[in-house]
Amino acid sequence: MRRVFSILIVLGLILFFVNSLSILPEYGKVKLSKVSSAYINKSVNGNSEKVKFGESKDLEDGSANVVTSIVVNYRSFDTLGEVTVLFTSALGVGLILHGYKRKKYGRQPNFILRISVGILLPLILLFGAYIFIHGHLTPGGGFPGGTIIAAGILLLYLSNEEYDLSKASKFVESTAGSLYVIVGLTGLAISGIFLLNFLPTGVVGNLFSAGIVPIVYILIGFKVGAELSGIIADLHREEG
């Protein structure tokens, strides 16, 4: 009897999802809301001219990646808050593990691991940097780029137990966070709006475009990478 009910529930769910799909609009033909149209057209001031990749210039933010436009331009203050939350989490881990000595494996890391990390680490760091430098042009950004860099630092810790990046990570994290706030204050001083995109936005699709958006993403990439690396350094300890 239980199997019969299970089969009926599954069939009901399948029927529900099939009917739900049938009411969805055809791909590319959805009727956009006013807010969605504003974001896709890269303008919230009523300018509805068609945007051409590599040709249109002096757009409202100049970012080819719509998600980046939303995250780093239209709601950059919220992104600053998210970075602050990550900082608070890293600070909490550091306070909990304060006074703990560094963990020792008690044996030399595997030869293959050490050699592989030596080869792969520069590529991982380069890939992470690429992700946040091109965040305004392609999918990616500061958070994923910084996470990739932190993953490379984790491999470094696993392959070399004498390695310690805790002081360097704290310096990079505090510097990147301070510069993020300074960029916001510069916008406030120039136009009266905190984190306003005050630089020329250039031609959409070019590396040097989108005003302060790529600058902010680079700072976020360094900050996130340093914070996650700091957490790795704090966890890489044992009770003394």
pLDDT at residue 225 greater than cutoff 70: yes
Mean local confidence (pLDDT), 81-101: 84
pLDDT at residue 76 greater than cutoff 70: yes
Say which residue the tokens 């959805």 belong to.
Answer: 30
pLDDT at residue 68 greater than cutoff 50: yes
Q: Which pLDDT tens digit goes with each residue over 141-171? A: 999 999 999 999 999 888 887 778 878 888 9
Mean local confidence (pLDDT), 184-213: 90
pLDDT at residue 132 greater than cutoff 80: yes
In Å, how far are 82, 126, 127, 149, 225 from 123, measured between CA atoms?
28, 5, 6, 10, 15
CA-only gyration radius of the chain, Å = 23
Residue 39 — very low, low, confident or very high, per pLDDT cuts 50/70/90?
low
pLDDT at residue 5 greater than cutoff 70: yes
CA distance 237 to 97: 8
Mean local confidence (pLDDT), 166-184: 90
In whole numbers, what is the pLDDT of the chain averaged over residues? 84
Mean local confidence (pLDDT), 104-120: 81
Mean local confidence (pLDDT), 197-210: 89
- The reported pLDDT for the residue numbered 38 is 66
Residue 165: exposed, middle, or buried by beta-carbon count in 10 A (0-12, 13-18, 19+)? middle
Mean local confidence (pLDDT), 2-16: 85
Quote the distance between the C-alpha of residue 206 and its chain's center. Answer: 20
Report the range of poorest mean pLDDT among 3-7, 22-26, 147-151, 184-188.
22-26
Say which residue the tokens 């916001």 belong to.
Answer: 184
Q: Which pLDDT tens digit goes with each residue over 40-67? A: 666 666 666 777 778 888 887 788 888 8
The secondary structure of the chain, three-state, reads: CHHHHHHHHHHHHHHHHHHHHHCCCCCCCCCCCHHHHHHHCCCCCCCCCCCCCCCCECCCCCCCCHHHHHHHHHCHHHHHHHHHHHHHHHHHHHHHCCCCEECCCCCCCCHHHHHHHHHHHHHHHHHHHHHHHCCCCCCCCHHHHHHHHHHHHHHHHHHCCCCCCHHHHHHHHHHHHHHHHHHHHHHHHHHCCCCCCCCCCCECCCCCCCCCHHHHHHHHHHHHHHHHHHHHHHHCEECC
pLDDT at residue 10 greater than cutoff 80: yes
